């Protein structure tokens, strides 16, 4: 890209031609505020917060969509005159303040009790621009009802600013497009077709809309009080499991850098909260690999229902049930690691400690809001009449529990997970990154097929944040074709190529969230001012791969606790007992 001279706030710079004013200013150390802009996803210039001056323009321009032009030639002197931009003039500041005041005129300003207080982008801008009179303009608040019908989230249009980030993500990244702008003019609002509730449409519970919402118009259903109540009940044996991605996300709730590995502090905090057992979901990620690798090798040998498609992502599973139910026979029958842990907690673990399964209260901490939906699926539970998982919390909810308990997280000494599910391998750790489940499965499948240790454990072809990745591997003379997709628009595209015969694969990993679980809908909120310029997915994933490299066990089948549970309880991967407890089935769901 050609570099061109530009003058910004009276100073000369060289920036890339054609990029937006917003990007150009960022590249030279100047931030311009936005409320609607999401790079490559929602570039509509709607919120008008990013307005700035451009010399020669008839009015203020939206920096997020206005491109950097090459210098123009003076008609008289022939001199090249660079584009001149002003981002902080009195006119610009006045315009932004008025826009904020107009937004506030119809906004629910219950900030003291709002779940996003402190992380709300609108609130932050109001502070920065010195909004003293939040009622400068008096507007009529539309009579919106709060929608609580979805299993995983709440929609509160009294706090919506019509930025349309949620609708862009839902349609462009996640394919489903179940929300959009309804009505016109002052009555415009975000809703479902025909004003249906979220619980009535084919929302797949991924929570990506929550991640990009600048306010609390969308937020997860908080279930922390249920957990506090269980912890206070002396009759309950309360245990908690934490997923791989939580350890590289939770620190952000306490001001730590993106991608900080806080495993030890997380465990210590959970123990201080009073849980009777603090366990690692990496253990059941390893268990998933043992079952799934066995399942794949059986199908590959028989050439039945290939490609095998992973089942760890409940958002993807719900999407498949709604939109590609003809592919249900191709899904792995394995429960997700969350589901497997819940199942063994109320069977193997309950027997081991001599506690009635009904007295075990099983909590999971997941980077994913779809795990709340998965926890509500009671059709294939390990113990009849009991849920495998009693409460599924997001990373954000665990952060709030720790804060509410007054625990000084950043000062905690590291602690270790409890036995017998305290040891997880690096293969389980990398489940949180797109391609991680595939790589973990290949590490085990390759050694089962070849009968000898791998010289190199890293399957780098399936790593990275690309939406679709594919690779071919030779295992003991067998050619295995694999593919990885993250984000459901990519998943839909991949499946259509498979169905049409354009592509053939033996094994496919699909994650609902772009970039995998590290970017799950329950992870700490990252403001657009960071998200637009930092690949948060890659930073968090890199931390998981670092954790993998540092762990003593890096293959699921070499985990001694996994060997023990098969020797003591399941006999072998794919056994009848394993299928009864660790496997499930799926349901065809209507598309409309």
563: enclosing H helix or E strand: helix 560-565
Nearest to 375 by CA among 223, 505, 520, 236: 223
Q: Is 397 helix (H, G, I), strand (E, B) or coil?
A: helix
| Within-domain flag for 102 | no
Phi then psi dihedrals of residue 395, to 5 deg: -55, -40
Distance (Å, rounded) from C-alpha 351 to C-alpha 50? Answer: 60
CB 168 within 8 A of CB 41: yes
| Within-domain flag for 482 | yes
Phi then psi dihedrals of residue 88, to 5 deg: -135, 30
Alpha-helix residue ranges (DSSP H) falling in 38-104: 90-104
Whether 215 and 315 share a structural domain: no
Distance (Å, rounded) from C-alpha 338 to C-alpha 273? Answer: 21
Whether 423 and 314 share a structural domain: yes
Whether 216 and 265 share a structural domain: no
Residue whose structure tokens are 């499991």: 241
| Within-domain flag for 72 | yes
Q: State the CATH number of the domain containing residue 275.
A: 3.40.50.1780
Distance (Å, rounded) from C-alpha 325 to C-alpha 499? Answer: 12
Q: Is 561 helix (H, G, I), strand (E, B) or coil?
A: helix
Whether 140 and 62 share a structural domain: no
Whether 155 and 82 share a structural domain: no
- Look up the domain containing 46 and give its range: 3-88
Kindly report the CA angle at 519 between 112 and 295, in degrees rounded to 5? Answer: 135
Whether 119 and 84 share a structural domain: no
Distances (CA, A) of 40 to 43, 44, 168, 215, 484: 7, 10, 10, 21, 22
Q: State the CATH number of the domain containing residue 46.
A: 3.10.20.740
Whether 177 and 35 share a structural domain: no
| Within-domain flag for 588 | no
Contacts of 3 (CB under 8 A, 6+ apart): 14, 15, 16, 17
| Within-domain flag for 95 | no
Distance (Å, rounded) from C-alpha 440 to C-alpha 285? Answer: 9
Domain count across the chain: 3
pLDDT per residue rounded down to tens, the chain (592 residues): 688 999 999 999 999 998 999 999 999 999 999 999 999 999 999 999 999 999 999 999 999 999 999 888 877 787 888 999 999 999 999 999 999 999 999 899 999 999 999 999 999 999 999 998 878 888 777 778 899 999 999 999 999 999 999 999 999 999 999 999 999 888 899 999 999 999 999 999 999 999 999 999 999 999 999 999 999 999 999 999 999 999 999 999 999 999 999 999 999 999 999 999 999 999 999 999 999 999 999 999 999 999 999 999 999 999 999 999 999 999 999 999 999 999 999 999 999 999 999 999 999 999 999 999 999 988 789 898 999 999 999 999 999 999 999 999 999 999 999 988 988 889 999 999 999 999 999 999 999 888 889 889 999 999 999 999 999 998 888 899 999 999 999 999 999 999 999 999 999 999 999 999 999 999 999 999 999 999 999 999 999 999 999 999 999 999 999 999 999 999 999 999 999 999 999 999 988 7
CB 392 within 8 A of CB 419: no
Distance (Å, rounded) from C-alpha 190 to C-alpha 558? Answer: 50
Distance (Å, rounded) from C-alpha 215 to C-alpha 194? Answer: 25
- Looking at 153, 185, 220, the residue that finishes a domain is 220
CB 71 within 8 A of CB 80: yes
Q: State the CATH number of the domain containing residue 172.
A: 3.30.70.20
Contacts of 234 (CB under 8 A, 6+ apart): none
| Within-domain flag for 93 | no
**Any bridge partners for residue 481, and if so which?**
472
- Looking at 220, 253, 276, the residue that finishes a domain is 220
Whether 504 and 378 share a structural domain: yes
**Any bridge partners for residue 223, and if so which?**
none
Residue whose structure tokens are 């003058």: 7
Kindly report the CA angle at 57 between 53 and 63, in degrees rounded to 5? Answer: 45
Whether 429 and 298 share a structural domain: yes
| Within-domain flag for 97 | no
Whether 143 and 260 share a structural domain: no
- Looking at 163, 190, 220, the residue that finishes a domain is 220
Whether 367 and 456 share a structural domain: yes
Distance (Å, rounded) from C-alpha 204 to C-alpha 176? Answer: 8
CA of residue 465 relative to chain centroid, distance? 13
Tokens of 391: 């409460």
**Any bridge partners for residue 242, and if so which?**
280, 365
Q: What is the pLDDT of residues 528-563, one digit of tens each?
A: 999 999 999 999 999 999 999 999 999 999 999 999
Neighbour count for residue 182 (Cβ, 10 Å): 15
């Amino acid at each position: 890209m050609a570099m061109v001279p530009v003058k910004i706030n009276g100073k000369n710079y060289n920036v890339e031609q054609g990029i937006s004013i917003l990007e150009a200013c960022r590249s030279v150390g100047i931030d311009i505020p936005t409320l609607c802009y999401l790079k490559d996803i929602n570039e509509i210039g709607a919120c008008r917060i990013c307005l700035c001056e451009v010399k020669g323009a008839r009015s203020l321009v939206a920096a997020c969509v206005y491109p950097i032009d090459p210098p123009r030639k003076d008609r008289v002197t022939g001199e090249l005159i660079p584009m001149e931009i002003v981002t902080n003039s009195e006119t610009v500041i006045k315009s932004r303040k008025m826009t904020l005041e107009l937004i506030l005129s119809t906004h629910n300003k219950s900030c003291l009790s709002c779940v996003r207080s402190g992380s709300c982008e609108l609130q932050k801008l109001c502070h920065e621009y010195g909004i003293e009179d939040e009622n400068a303009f008096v507007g009529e608040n539309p009579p919106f009802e709060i929608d609580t019908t979805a299993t995983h989230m709440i929609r509160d249009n009294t706090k919506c600013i019509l930025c349309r980030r949620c609708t862009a993500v839902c349609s462009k990244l996640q394919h489903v497009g179940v929300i959009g702008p309804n009505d016109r003019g002052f009555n415009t609002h975000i809703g479902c077709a025909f004003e249906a509730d979220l619980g009535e449409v084919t929302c797949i519970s991924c929570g990506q809309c929550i991640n990009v919402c600048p306010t609390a118009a969308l937020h997860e259903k908080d279930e922390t009080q249920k957990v506090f109540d269980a912890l206070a009940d002396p009759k309950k044996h309360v245990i908690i499991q934490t997923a791989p991605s939580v350890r590289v996300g939770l620190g952000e709730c306490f001001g730590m850098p993106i991608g900080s590995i806080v495993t030890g502090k997380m465990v210590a905090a959970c123990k201080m909260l009073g849980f009777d057992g603090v366990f690692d979901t990496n253990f059941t990620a390893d268990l998933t690999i043992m079952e799934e690798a066995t399942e794949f090798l059986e199908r590959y040998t028989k050439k039945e229902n290939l490609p095998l498609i992973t089942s760890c992502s409940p958002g993807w599973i719900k999407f498949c049930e709604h939109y590609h139910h003809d592919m249900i026979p191709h899904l792995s029958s394995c429960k997700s690691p969350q589901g497997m842990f819940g199942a063994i907690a109320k069977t193997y673990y309950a027997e081991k400690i001599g506690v009635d399964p009904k007295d075990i209260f099983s909590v999971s901490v997941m980077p994913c809001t779809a795990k709340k939906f998965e926890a509500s699926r009671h059709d294939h539970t390990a113990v009849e009449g009991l849920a495998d998982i009693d409460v599924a919390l997001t990373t954000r909810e665990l952060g709030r529990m720790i804060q509410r308990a007054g625990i000084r997280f950043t000062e905690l000494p590291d602690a270790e997970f409890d036995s017998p599910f305290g040891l997880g391998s690096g293969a389980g750790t990398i489940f949180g990154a797109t391609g991680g489940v595939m790589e973990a499965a290949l590490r085990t499948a390759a050694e089962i097929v070849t009968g000898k240790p791998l010289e190199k454990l890293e399957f780098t072809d399936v790593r990275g944040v690309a939406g679709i990745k594919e690779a071919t591997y030779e295992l003991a003379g067998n050619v295995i074709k694999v593919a990885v997709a993250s984000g459901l628009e990519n998943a839909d595209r991949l499946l259509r190529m498979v169905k049409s015969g354009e592509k053939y694969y033996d094994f496919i990993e699909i994650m609902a969230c772009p970039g995998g679980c590290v970017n799950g809908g329950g992870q700490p909120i990252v403001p657009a001012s960071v998200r637009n310029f930092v690949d948060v997915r890659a930073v968090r994933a890199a931390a998981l791969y670092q954790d993998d490299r540092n762990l003593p066990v890096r293959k699921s089948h070499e985990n001694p606790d996994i060997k023990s549970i098969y020797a003591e309880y399941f006999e072998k991967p794919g056994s009848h007992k394993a299928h009864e407890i660790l496997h499930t089935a799926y349901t065809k769901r209507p598309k409309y």
